[in-house]
Amino acid sequence: TQLLEQSPQFLSIQEGENLTVYCNSSSVFSSLQWYRQEPGEGPVLLVTVVTGGEVKKLKRLTFQFGDARKDSSLHITAAQPGDTGLYLCALRSGTYKYIFGTGTRLKVLA
């Protein structure tokens, strides 16, 4: 069974600070998605990365896919309270279904 470990598990920072969240797999994956989930809601897709070494930017968020396609990172610059939430990575297992990582719970304090 392919596992996705995320680190750190919890992160509490001050507004304006930078942070990086990591997602590591026990094996190579073809593509990976990052989601953010707020309490009481479903996850919302942020980005999909496909190519090894790929870097994608979404405003203050930078996503990187490892060269060997076994790991990925999410870097947030100048975090804001609105960034608070549960960040999840997910990989496609088989044709259709997705397996989610263990999650990183981020709290940004004003």
**What sign does the dihedral 63-53-102-34 (CA atoms) show?**
positive
- Where in 50-89 is the site for another protein (CB under 8 A)? 86, 88
Supply the minimum distance, in Å, between the C-beta of residue 87 and another protein: 10
Contact status: 43 vs another protein (CB under 8 A): yes
How far, in Å, CA of 52 to CA of 70, rounded?
Answer: 9
How far, in Å, CA of 67 to CA of 65, rounded?
Answer: 7
Contact status: 97 vs another protein (CB under 8 A): yes
User: What are the structure tokens assigned to 36, written together?
Assistant: 């953010």
Q: Which of 33, 64, 72, 84 binds another protein (CB under 8 A)?
A: 33
Residues making contact with another protein (CB under 8 A): 31, 33, 40-45, 48, 86, 88, 92, 96-103, 105
